Amino acid sequence: MFDSGRDASTHLAFGAGPHHCLGHQPAGSELRVGLGTLFEELPDLRPAVPPERVRMRTTSVVYGVHALPVTWGG
């Protein structure tokens, strides 16, 4: 059953069965390669703000953060 008032943090990212997203495999590969490369090149990468200061996007179709400031090095 579709519940438009559900908690957005419990979404199904790629769905399942006949509603399975066809782009899930390329997206997963892009994430693995992209994030893997990012963390190899910048091993000291870390959030620049405490988790409680990261504003979550809750009013759009896409769930996520508005911005995630990061820092690296020294």
- Burial per residue of 19-38, b for 16 or more beta-carbon CB atoms within 10 angstroms, e otherwise: eeeeeeeeeeeeeeeeeeee
Whether the CB-CB separation of 60 and 66 falls below 8 Å is answered with no
| Each residue's pLDDT tens digit, 31-52 | 899 999 999 999 999 999 999 9
| Each residue's pLDDT tens digit, 48-57 | 999 999 999 8
Domain borders along the chain are 19-71
**Is the overall model pTM greater than 0.85, yes or no?**
no
| Each residue's pLDDT tens digit, 3-28 | 666 666 655 555 666 666 778 889 88
HEC-encoded secondary structure of 35-71: HHHHHHHCCCCEECCCHHHCCEECCCCCCEECCCCEE
Whether the CB-CB separation of 54 and 68 falls below 8 Å is answered with yes
> In the beta sheet, which residues pair with residue 34?
none
